[in-house]
């Protein structure tokens, strides 16, 4: 019996995964001028958000169907810019009824997608599934994930870049403190704080390496 349930679940997940993959290739064409990028930034971002949201749903008791569907589809209309949460929600409302996704949960998926806008919030969200998607989406923009996703995106753009500029851009991250403070769920806030610390340490360590700070003897051993 449980096997049947798993199979059914896989069907709608497969359908939305396929739709999202198509959308990432359209975005790659617009962003990098190719449908075959070395690093598919949007795909990497979305799959990371799906994984984090799934885990966060387990930790918080949020509905896993709603959270997973919303995570897959949250950036599906990214090309529409600041309207992409609204447009993504519209897409979910029209696409999910064509699948075996539980119809009574569709509006909650759309709501979570609509709510995911912004890198920080003045007022916290109210629905648990919206909170989980918001937190997972922002967690994927902090820490080492952000460093590697950012570097992949930069290299794909095939424009001149220096390590010095990467460090400068990496340090230009004041918004991340506000993002951490805006996290809704306890596990995400905790993880975000640690990730931000590691992220800041990484730029410090990299700069120290480049300047050979580790070549100097410790003060106590110097004559």
Candidates 65, 75, 114, 115; binder of Fe ion (CB under 5 A) is 75
In eight-state DSSP terms, residue 117 is -
Question: What minimum distance in Å lies between the beta carbon of 138 and Fe ion?
Answer: 8
State the number of binding residues for Fe ion (CB under 5 A). Answer: 2
Phi, psi of 140 (to 5 degrees): -70, -5
Among 5-13, 68-76, 105-113, 118-126, which window interacts with Fe ion (CB under 5 A)?
Answer: 68-76
CB nearer to Fe ion: give 178 or 211.
Answer: 178
Alpha carbon 223 to its chain centroid, in Å, reads: 50
Sign for the pseudo-dihedral over CA of 137, 140, 143, 147? negative
Structure tokens at 83: 């309207």
Question: What minimum distance in Å lies between the beta carbon of 117 and Fe ion?
Answer: 7
Among 67-75, 101-109, 160-168, 195-203, which window interacts with Fe ion (CB under 5 A)?
Answer: 67-75
Among 12-20, 70-78, 89-97, 101-109, which window interacts with Fe ion (CB under 5 A)?
Answer: 70-78
Considering the rule CB under 5 A, would residue 27 count as an interface residue with Fe ion? no
CB nearer to Fe ion: give 151 or 206.
Answer: 151
CB nearer to Fe ion: give 56 or 210.
Answer: 56
CB nearer to Fe ion: give 65 or 75.
Answer: 75
Distance (Å, whole) CA 86 – CA 92: 10
Site for Fe ion in 116-145 (CB under 5 A): 137
Question: What minimum distance in Å lies between the beta carbon of 85 and Fe ion?
Answer: 6
Question: What minimum distance in Å lies between the beta carbon of 49 and Fe ion?
Answer: 6
Question: What minimum distance in Å lies between the beta carbon of 165 and Fe ion?
Answer: 24
Structure tokens at 58: 């387990």
Distance (Å, whole) CA 124 – CA 153: 30
Say which residues have a Cβ less than 8 Å from residue 45's Cβ, sequence separation at least 6. Answer: 75, 140, 149
The Cβ-side half-sphere exposure at 27, using a 13 Å CA radius, reads 24
Instruction: List b or e across 98-126, with b for residues whose CB sees 16 or more CB atoms inside 10 angstroms.
Output: ebebbeebbebbbbbbbbbbeeebeeebe
**Residues near Fe ion (CB under 5 A):** 75, 137
């Amino acid at each position: 019996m449980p096997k049947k349930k798993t199979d059914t679940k896989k069907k709608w997940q497969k359908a939305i995964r396929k739709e999202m993959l198509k959308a990432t290739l359209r975005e790659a064409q617009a962003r990098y001028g190719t449908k075959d990028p070395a690093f598919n930034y949007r795909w990497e971002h979305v799959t990371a958000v799906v994984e984090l949201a799934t885990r966060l749903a387990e930790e918080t008791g949020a509905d896993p169907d709603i959270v997973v569907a919303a995570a897959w589809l949250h950036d599906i209309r990214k090309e529409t810019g600041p309207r992409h949460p609204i447009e993504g929600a519209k897409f979910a409302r029209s696409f999910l009824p064509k699948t075996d996704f539980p119809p009574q949960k569709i509006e909650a998926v759309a709501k979570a997608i609509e709510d995911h806008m912004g890198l920080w919030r003045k007022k916290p969200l109210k629905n648990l599934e919206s909170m989980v998607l918001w937190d997972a989406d922002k967690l994927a923009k902090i820490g080492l994930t952000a460093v590697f996703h950012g570097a992949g995106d930069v290299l794909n753009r095939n424009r001149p870049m220096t390590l010095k500029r990467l460090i400068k851009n990496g340090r230009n991250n004041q918004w991340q403190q506000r993002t951490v403070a805006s996290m809704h769920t306890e596990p995400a806030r905790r993880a975000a704080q640690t990730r931000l610390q590691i992220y800041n340490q990484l730029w410090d360590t990299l700069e120290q390496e480049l300047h050979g700070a580790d070549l100097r003897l410790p003060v106590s051993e110097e004559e």
